[in-house]
Amino acid sequence: MANKEKLADQIRANAEMAKKGEKKRKGGKTGLPKSASSSAYVAPHRHCTICQCPISLNRDPPICGETKCGDEYESRERQRKRWNILLYVAPAIMIGAFALQLMMGA
């Protein structure tokens, strides 16, 4: 019978520990353990912008080593730059046209 009581004590202790752990998790931001010794520990990292596979934090450009991802990233960058240029050029043209109209009217 003493053995059974011991077991019950252990279960109670375990339940208490679980409760405490939950409280701790609620206080944290992500719930991920901060120490590298934990099995659930996730080291700081970022993801490849193309295939989302984990890569080093200070990788620049933020892509993995795959050639497919490199090509895709380059084409995306080109497109982004084109849009950036258009974003500045379009208003410039409109302002230019407006100024031209004013000059013509004067």
Token output for 47: 């993801």
Binding segment toward Zn ion, per CB under 5 A, in 2-10, 34-42, 67-75, 78-86: 67-75
What span, in angstroms and rounded, lies between the C-alpha atoms of 59 and 48? 9
Binding mask 31-60 for Zn ion (x = CB under 5 A): -----------------x-xx---------
Distances (CA, A) of 103 to 25, 63, 71, 94, 99: 68, 51, 47, 14, 6
Q: Smallest distance, Å, CB 77 to Zn ion?
A: 15
Contacting positions for Zn ion (CB under 5 A) = 48, 50-51, 64, 66, 69
